[in-house]
Structure 1
Amino acid sequence: MISWERVNELRDEVGIEDFREVVAMFLEEVEDTMVRMIAVPDLSRLEEDMHFLKGSALNLGFLQFSELCQAGEKAAAGGQADTVDLDEIFESYAASKSVFSKKFGCMKAA
């Protein structure tokens, strides 16, 4: 579900203080995007939204979430945006965030 190797690489690259900021920014931006997607559904933006979420997920090592976003991005690019299961994608994010937060309890912000 999570690439701890990627998480550790990122933490080593930026240092613990900046790592906290990166995590907080990631969580905030991802959650803001998901809230907008729910509040104002727009299938014409789905490919772009999935691409953004995929990239954010990969940066922090949320592998399962990124894979689902990639599949959603491909479906939307292929004209099948209406087949993308946003509930599954959002649930994967929530599960990934929960697992991540258990390991990094100090990262619950955002």
Structure 2
Amino acid sequence: MIDWVRVSELRSEIGADDFEEVANLFLTEVEDTLLRLDAAAGNNAEMQALMHFLKGSALNLGFSDLSILCSKGESDAAQGHVTFDPQALKDLFAQSRKAFETEYPKRYAA
């Protein structure tokens, strides 16, 4: 669900102090984007753009399962058909976020 190697890489790249700010920004932006999914239903170009953004964001912060689902959604939208369930994507994000927020403090305790 979470690629902890990627999390460690990003944390090393930007520093421990800035990592929390970046992670919080990611979580906020993803939540905002997920809220836009329902409005994008039927608009393949908009859905493709949203999925692309979500995929990239998920990859950056190590939300590996989420990035896989977003990649599939992006590909489907590019081909003119959206076959994924937006609620499943929202649920996966919620599960991934919970796993991240639970495990991160344990892995990187001061």
TM value normalised by structure 1: 0.88
State whether residues 2 and 65 of structure 2, in contact with CA within 8 Å, keep that contact through their aligned partners in structure 1. yes
Aligned length: 104
RMSD, matched Cα: 1.5
Which aligned pairs between 1:1-110 and structure 2 lie closer than 5 A? 1-38=1-38, 40-44=39-43, 45-81=46-82, 83-105=83-105
State whether residues 6 and 61 of structure 1, in contact with CA within 8 Å, keep that contact through their aligned partners in structure 2. yes
Q: Distance in 1 between matches of 2:90 and 2:34?
A: 8
User: What is the CA distance between 1:41 and its match in structure 2?
Assistant: 3.6
User: What is the CA distance between 1:65 and its match in structure 2?
Assistant: 0.3
Q: Distance in 1 between matches of 2:80 and 2:71?
A: 14
Secondary structure at the counterpart of residue 43 of structure 1: coil
Q: Distance in 2 between matches of 1:3 and 1:63?
A: 6
User: What is the CA distance between 1:36 and its match in structure 2?
Assistant: 2.3
User: What is the CA distance between 1:21 and its match in structure 2?
Assistant: 0.9
User: What is the CA distance between 1:42 and its match in structure 2?
Assistant: 3.9
Report % sequence identity. Answer: 47
